[in-house]
Amino acid sequence: MQDPLAQGRYFAQYDRDADALPYLEQAVQQYPTSLEAWVLLSNARSVLRNFFKADAAANQALSLGSQSLEALCAKARALGGLRQFQPAFGMVDRALQINPRSELSLVVKSNIFAEAWKLNKDKRQLSQGIQLCDSALQFAPNYIYALTSKSRLLAYAGRTKDALAVARAAFEMHPNSLLTQATLSLCFTVAHNFSEAMRIAEGMIAQSPGDFRGWVTRGAIFSEMGQRGRSRSDWMHAAELNPENPELLEEARAI
């Protein structure tokens, strides 16, 4: 029998969080004192945007290692998703006090700024997020999460050409990653290059039809193209694939 933690770790490494989730849920039952298992479970749930359960798993991780950078970042990520920005920044700043050169902590903090920007549209938060990604890339030039986060922030800031350049670099390093694919598709969508954006989204669905991200990516393109019916259909299917995320169903109904 395959070890559930090893299986969950493998799928998480390749951004296949929907596949990783059942193994990680089994892993924390089998290894309840494994800090790694709880951190991986929290991160997978954050990717799948079930932030309440991500927060609960992060709490378990912190109970096993209150000074763990990974646990602090998992907690910050979940709180950011829950839009509890002040405690989220507090958590990630604790991690940065432990190691100011931690690329993980820097990128998590940049992502919290991105989530805050979605709520209040303060462009200063985008600039702060981009600066944090640049700092992470100084320490780890090929860090995929810094590249994809920076690309998204640049796209939100309207710097489409720069966003595409960074997204392409990330995609060329990891062409089979759903994260790099979704990021590049987003940048093409912002640039109104819908044919390229759609080509990538269709590839995501063909590669991982059971992962909601491909359907959300294609639904966002249809929405930008004014095809609301097709957009709603894709978002509804994404909600069916990821029923623990109420935001997907709300988004689908709002289209």
Which domain CATH number covers 38? 1.25.40.10
- Please give the residue range of the domain that contains residue 66: 1-76
The answer to whether 76 and 108 are in contact (CB under 8 A) is yes
Provide the pLDDT for residue 254.
72
- State whether residue 227 is helix, strand or coil: coil
The H or E element spanning position 133 is helix 123-139
pLDDT single digits (tens) 52-88: 999 999 999 999 999 999 999 999 999 999 999 999 9
pTM reported for the whole predicted model:
0.90
**Rounded to whole angstroms, how far apart are CA atoms 113 and 120?**
10
Could you tell me if residue 61 is inside a domain? yes
Domain presence at residue 72 = yes
User: Which amino acid type is present at position 105?
Assistant: S
- 64 within some domain: yes
The answer as to whether 211 is a domain residue is no
In a domain, 191, yes or no: no
Classify residue 41: in a domain, yes or no: yes
What stretches in the chain show pLDDT beneath 70?
1, 252
Is 206 a member of any domain? no
Closest CA to 131 of 115, 153, 116: 153
- pLDDT at position 250 is 74
Q: Note the pLDDT tens digit of each residue in 81-105.
A: 999 999 999 999 999 999 999 999 9
State how many domains the chain has: 1
> Would you give the DSSP letter of residue 226?
T
Residue 48 domain-assigned (yes or no): yes
Within a 10 A sphere around the Cβ of 138, how many other Cβ atoms?
12
Q: Residue 249 carries which side chain, given as an amino acid letter?
A: L
